[in-house]
Amino acid sequence: MIGLYRIDADPDAPDPDFATTILVTPDRQNSEYYHPWAKSAPALPSHTHCTPIPQIQVQKISRSLNLTVTPLTNPEGGVRGGLIILEDISREKRMKAAMYRYMTPKVAEQVMALGDDSLMVGERKDVTVLFSDIRGYTTLTENLGASEVVTLLNQYFETMVEAVFTHEGTLDKFIGDALMAVFGAPLPLTEKHTLMAVRSALDMRRRLVEFNQHRVIDNQPLIRFGIGISSGEVVSGNIGSQRRMDYTAIGDAVNLSARLESLTKEYGCDIIISESTYRNCSDSFWVRELDKIRVKGKSEAVSIYELIDDRRVTLDPISTKFLYLYKMGREDFLDRNFEQALVGFEAAAQIRPDDRAVAYHLELANFYLENPPPEDWDGVRTMTHK
């Protein structure tokens, strides 16, 4: 390990208060002693050229360096010496190591190229936020020891984070058994951020199936999750205190994605996307409209959709028929034609008796048939809880 050694000036020198700090390297035979790096430097006192410097007098430093050696030649091509350049990249290496934890190396390199303070400046960005949570986590882990819980979460997050990185997402944070990812910040993506976020969610679904296959072999209970996805403007940047800062995003899109994740339990599905997300990638995915909701604290209503699959995947005839019947029932329901809506929903229930969204609409349609809603009813469900 290299170090620094302070050389006090000669008391008889013109400036007796002047001191020099030199770079020293450990003795190859005895690590208890150091020698000056530049042994032939004429500015150094003569005693430093040959006298070993005790380790106790050296301030050790740990650095990551780029070493460049360039030969110095004369006009005839003879080598007269060499130029050694040491570039301290310690801070850059630490920053890269930190960024690699929540973004891909490729994105981290691009961020580093923008400058050291590129993440420090808060920015308003249009992004898509993905929020994921394990279903029934408490029940799942109540009989596990502490080390088993940690192992389970590490294995689960390892594959889920890979799905985020594969689609150019940035890992925002872990919150217990939950995961939050942002698509479109800190840098723009190669494709639309809505598209990449939804593809990431489908990849997470596929990876969870594979993850559970291994758990079945090990006679372990299956893991289920819920995912909420929403798009919109957020404020992003390094947020925190002097002691601890993290790159994160805050805004309505973040709040809505977390609420949509929670709603997956009520509608009995695993992935719900917001209207703002679906609007920007509607031609790429199969979905069904679940409801139109007004979340607590907001006046504007938004449509929410269950994510079914990529449109490049052909749906089987039974699924196609189910979605058609549900869609017809939903349209009649919003047109206040509740009797006809019941016909569509009941037919859909024959195909999927346990579908919660169908059961929810059947209950409401039957209720409104007996108790007609007011004239200004718009089919919006107002959420009274977060």
Supply 207's token pair: 């990876």
Residues 380 and 302: their CA atoms lie apart, in Å, by 9
Residue 42 or residue 153, greater confidence: 153
Residues 92 and 76: their CA atoms lie apart, in Å, by 40
Banded pLDDT at 272 (limits 50, 70, 90) = very high
Residues 99 and 170: their CA atoms lie apart, in Å, by 10
Average the pLDDT over 282-299 and give the result: 90
> Which of 49-53, 85-89, 172-176 has maximum average pLDDT?
172-176
Residue 132 or residue 73, greater confidence: 132
* pLDDT of amino acid 163: 96
* pLDDT of amino acid 126: 94
Supply 125's token pair: 């960005």
Record: fold of 314-386: 1.25.40
Average the pLDDT over 22-45 and give the result: 69
Residues 112 and 104: their CA atoms lie apart, in Å, by 12
Residues 331 and 194: their CA atoms lie apart, in Å, by 26
* pLDDT of amino acid 13: 54
> Which of 33-47, 87-101, 186-200, 337-351 has maximum average pLDDT?
337-351
User: Of all residues in the chain, what percent carry a pLDDT higher than 70?
Assistant: 79
* pLDDT of amino acid 305: 98
pTM: predicted TM-score of the whole model, two decimal places: 0.75
DSSP code, position 56: G
* pLDDT of amino acid 222: 92
Residues 286 and 306: their CA atoms lie apart, in Å, by 9
Return mean pLDDT, the chain. Answer: 84
* pLDDT of amino acid 41: 46
Residue 382 or residue 88, greater confidence: 382
Supply 336's token pair: 């206040």
Residues 276 and 267: their CA atoms lie apart, in Å, by 19
Average the pLDDT over 332-343 and give the result: 96
Where helices occur in the chain by DSSP H, the ranges are 47-50, 90-99, 105-114, 137-141, 146-166, 193-217, 252-267, 275-279, 317-334, 338-351, 356-370
Banded pLDDT at 61 (limits 50, 70, 90) = low
Average the pLDDT over 144-173 and give the result: 92
- Classify domain 104-313 at the CATH superfamily level: Nucleotide cyclase, GGDEF domain (3.30.70.1230)
* pLDDT of amino acid 358: 97
SS3 41: coil
Size (the chain), residues: 386
* pLDDT of amino acid 226: 97
Residues 24 and 57: their CA atoms lie apart, in Å, by 11
Residues 86 and 2: their CA atoms lie apart, in Å, by 12
For residue range 208-256, what is the model confidence (pLDDT) as tens digits? Answer: 999 999 999 989 989 999 999 999 999 988 777 767 767 788 999 999 9
For 256-272, letters b (16+ CB in 10 Å) and e give bbbbbbbbbeebbbbbb
pLDDT at 333 over 70: yes
Cα Dmax for the chain: 107
* pLDDT of amino acid 40: 41
Banded pLDDT at 92 (limits 50, 70, 90) = low
* pLDDT of amino acid 100: 62
Query: Which residue(s) pair with 68 in the sheet?
Result: 85
Domain ranges of the chain: 3-88, 104-313, 314-386
